[in-house]
Each structure stands twice: as C-alpha cells, then as structure tokens.
Structure 1
C-alpha cells in the first residue's frame, strides 16, 4: 500500500531527501536477503501457489509486517487519527495536492521513459498550472481545466519495458515493494529536480516540516483501509501482498494501453 500520489498507497510519496534514506535502507536490507529465502515446496499445487505469490522471502517479510503492524498500532495509527480529528478534510486534500504537484516532474520523466509523450505533456501542463495558479498544488486548478492527475514512477516504467518485478518485499514501516520497485525508487530520487535545490537553514527547516507533514498526511489517507484489512482478513499479510501486486500490474497495463488524445476533452467540446 503505497502512496496515494505516487503509485502506491502505503504512505504519501516521500521527498527526495527522505527517499534517499529509503533507498539506502533498501540496499542494506537486500544485502542479507539471500540467506533468508524460503525454498520452493515440492507439492505441485503448493509450488504453483508459491510461484504466483512470488514471495521467496516470506518468512522475513512476515516478520517485517508484524513489526510494522506493531508500530502502526502504538505510534503511527494514533498520530494519523489525531491528525484526521484536528485537520479538516479540505485542508488534508490540499496538502495531498501539494505533494502530488511536487512529484509531478517525476511523473513527467517516467511518462517520457515509457514512450508516452501525450501523458508526459499532460503531466507537464498540470505542473505548470498548479505550481502557479494552483498555489503550488493547494488548489487543483489543472483538474478543472481537463488535465487530470495520473500516476507513474520508475518501477512502472521498468515494467512497461518488460523488466520482471522480482521477489515481493515487505520493508519495515515503508510497506510493500519488490526488487524492481526498489530500483525504481532509487531512479525516482535522481529524477526529482527538488533533490538538486541548495538547502540553507530556512530550506532545511521547511524540508523537515514538509517531510513530517507529508508522512502524516499519507498515513491519514490510508489508516481506515488498513484498519478494515486487519479486521476482516484472515491473513492480512497475504491480502496486502495480493492487493499490491495486482495494483502494480494493473497500473503498468494501464500505462501501456494509454492512447489518450493530444488535447483535453474540454477543447473538443468548445
């Protein structure tokens, strides 16, 4: 469950600086995975299920999941619930729009990489409109003009190139991922122009506030859905794994099959 504004829905998409920390954590985690792999079963039915889940590190992933759910219960969820209580929904939506707009350049570059110039054009126009008239994305003016938001990231771009996802991963606190999406996240860090803005003391303070608020806003977006899964599912880990894998596959197919018009609908309806 990754970001609402980024491709997944676990938390809101981090800023480049926080993303670099995430990538470093991924790299350290991947180093020790080889010794943690679960051997494939010999039973044909069990083997088919094993291959479909694509979760050769399931034992380690489940431990990470349990740790994350413990942290969610005692820290993340209470903070998210307090945030929902204190901050009105319109303001939360505006904050989400700000993060969506800040991530639009990454969407643009990945649309270009996926060979979708019309999608890239829409992302670029959205960014221009919302950064100016939309006050940095606090107001989604571009949506009213016919330029609706769409998701893309380097993990999805690699998927459109035919790069396999690799084994499923569940990273502590960060949530579901895969080898391909881990590599993609590192690419996205390099694609984000905000990663190259010089940071003085004022910008450093803003960056910390930006990161913290974005994380909390992302948790608040997904807290009810996670509560529902934990309540209703017999195996929440498997439910989240399946939902994540299906979502990423559907998003990649959507990009491949996107043959949108050159101009938005409102232009044709003049």
Structure 2
C-alpha cells in the first residue's frame, strides 16, 4: 500500500500546453518527479559506494582475472539465455548459446575462458524482458528503480521471471546458499561498473540533463538488444563506447545502462 501511495504521489499530470504535452507523452515518463528523486539517490549510492569499489576492483585486479570473472558470470547465465532464445523462437541464437557453453566448458577452463568468441560465437545476453518485447508486450512507462536503475514494467517482470527460472538461484535457495546469489549480483555490478567508469564520467560531464540522457540511452540500448543489434532506430553518439552494449550501471543491479 505504501508503495502504491508513493507511486501515485509521484505521477505527473500531462501539461496543458500542446507542445509540452506532446513531449510529455513522447518521454513516456509519467513518474518523472519520483524517478528523478530515485535517480539522485542512485547517483549518490554510486559515488559513495559502487564507483569507489569498482575503481579499486579495476586498479587492483589484473585484467586477465577480471576478464575471467566476467566470462564465468556470463557462462553461468547460459540456462536463462537459452530458455529465452527458445521462448523467442530464436533457433540460431539457441544454437550459438549451446555451442558457446560446450566450447567454453571443454576448452575454456569451465567458463573462465571464452575461446568461443574467438571462434566467432560471440556472447549475446537474452532475458525475459526481451522475450516479452518479442511477444509484442508493451514496455509501459519509464521507471527508475532504487539501486537497480533504469527500467520499465516489462523489464521488471522479465527480471523477476529470470530470477525464478535461474538454476543457480534455485540451487542456492534450496541449499541455503543465498549468499551465492547476492555475491554474484554484486560482483556482476562491480565488474560492469569498473568497465565503464570513464565513459559514464564523460557522459555526465557532457550532458545538460544527465537523467534524460540515461533515460534515452536505456531505451535505445534495450531496443537494440531486443532486435539483436539490428535496430534501425538506435542512434548512439560516436563518442559513446560502453564496454557492454546493454549496460549503464548506476546502481548495483547493475546490469544497466541493464
């Protein structure tokens, strides 16, 4: 009930001016006042906790070890990725996912290496939010989630479904090893943040409205992910080069933009 009151209280009504009203609907951000407040909270959390930790992680751990950690985190997502490949009817993607898993298991040191990418089978993440989009489910209004960052109702549902069907999470829950799930999420967030420190710093410095920039980029990158990199409408600045093309991390979900 409290959450509902907060959400309703944060709703912004459509402006009376026709031009402003058109921009309001185009932004699809009816919760903008609340979203901006949460965004500022996430920025504070990032500056105080996540960015300093990510900086130490980047500066202390050798790149070989960091790449191995990243590869393994991607590797153990394989069941979730494969399930979404199949639910989307993406048979070619499913074949690549299976080939990557087999290759990296056999000659990639159990997933810490990524020889599959060297052989042309590049990693491509899939999630149930993308699956819902393929099924033509609408995204709903833009949301800025505490800690987790930019999202929308469709992607929130996707996040929950992926969590429920994840074999690693199921194993951790059934064996009283929930710490594995929390540690994995935190480590993934730190790793992703460490790879985009300079990019996000430069983006913040060059943005007139950092919140609006993040909102726009989140939508563009999600659209590109949904279309498997074939979106005709995604226009990213040539100077913007995110280490992970679906990630802006402004909170330890930290699979953001995902």
Same fold by TM-score, threshold 0.5 exceeded? Answer: yes
Identify the residue that residue 24 of structure 2 maps to in structure 1: 50
Identify the residue that residue 24 of structure 1 maps to in structure 2: none
Deviations 1:123-170 (A, max 9, x none): 122122223321232110211233211121111111111111001011
Stretch deviating more after TM superposition (50-59 or 220-229): 220-229
The yes-or-no answer on 1:94 pairing with 2:72 is: no
Of residues 116, 131, 155 in structure 2, which corresponds to 1:142? 116
How far is the alpha carbon of 1:192 from its aligned partner?
1.3
Stretch deviating more after TM superposition (148-157 or 127-136): 127-136
RMSD of aligned alpha carbons: 2.3
Identify the residue that residue 161 of structure 1 maps to in structure 2: 135
Q: What TM-score, normalized by structure 2, do the two folds share?
A: 0.81
Which has the larger share of helix?
Answer: 1
Superposition pairs of residues 119-198 of structure 1, within 5 angstroms:
119-197=93-171
CA distance in 2, matches of 1:136, 1:28: 46
Identify the residue that residue 81 of structure 2 maps to in structure 1: 107
Identify the residue that residue 82 of structure 1 maps to in structure 2: 56
How far is the alpha carbon of 1:193 from its aligned partner?
1.4
CA distance in 2, matches of 1:98, 1:158: 26
CA distance in 2, matches of 1:153, 1:83: 27
- For this pair of structures, how many residues does the alignment match? 230
Assess if the C-alpha contact under 8 Å between 1:105 and 1:127 holds in 2: no
CA distance in 1, matches of 2:5, 2:170: 28
CA distance in 1, matches of 2:94, 2:110: 19
Assess if the C-alpha contact under 8 Å between 2:29 and 2:143 holds in 1: yes
Assess if the C-alpha contact under 8 Å between 2:54 and 2:190 holds in 1: yes
Q: What TM-score, normalized by structure 1, do the two folds share?
A: 0.78
Deviations 1:197-237 (A, max 9, x none): 25657x56655554443332122123222211221111100
CA distance in 1, matches of 2:154, 2:197: 26
CA distance in 2, matches of 1:119, 1:255: 13
Of residues 30, 37, 40 in structure 2, which corresponds to 1:66? 40
Q: Which stretches in structure 1 are left out of the alignment for 5+ residues?
A: 1-26, 258-270
